[in-house]
């Protein structure tokens, strides 16, 4: 099973979904804005991928956060922030048979291409 996590209007998500359709891989799209995010999934993302990779510190949502929230961000409190501000989560995060991949880069495409064969 392949699950793509993200936000529907994200350009990277649109590219990811188009590419998956092109190579013929079936997937389920989990839109944080429509389906939310569980605390367990947020914690799993942090544990498996690392906080530095999961939180998008280059986006508008991050820049709008109060400085004290940015400075106090840790693995312990990040899941709560991710639940509240799902736009902070880098996209896409893809669950491939229990393995989490992040981003739409060469490594991710190679892993997914091998699944399509």
Q: How many CB atoms lie within 10 A of CB 31?
A: 16
Closest CA to 90 of 57, 62, 39, 56: 56
Catalytic residue IDs: 10
According to DSSP, the β-strands at 93-96 and 28-31 are: unpaired
């Amino acid at each position: 099973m392949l699950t793509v996590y993200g936000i529907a209007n994200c350009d990277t998500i649109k590219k990811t979904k188009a590419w998956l359709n092109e190579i013929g891989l079936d997937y389920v799209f989990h839109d944080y804005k429509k389906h939310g995010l569980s605390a367990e999934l947020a914690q799993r993302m942090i544990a498996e991928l690392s906080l530095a990779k999961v939180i998008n510190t280059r986006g508008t949502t991050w820049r709008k956060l109060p400085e004290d929230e940015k400075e106090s961000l840790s693995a312990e409190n990040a899941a709560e922030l991710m639940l509240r501000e799902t736009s902070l989560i880098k996209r896409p995060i893809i669950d491939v048979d229990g393995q989490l991949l992040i981003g739409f880069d060469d490594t991710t495409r190679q892993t997914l291409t091998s699944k399509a064969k």
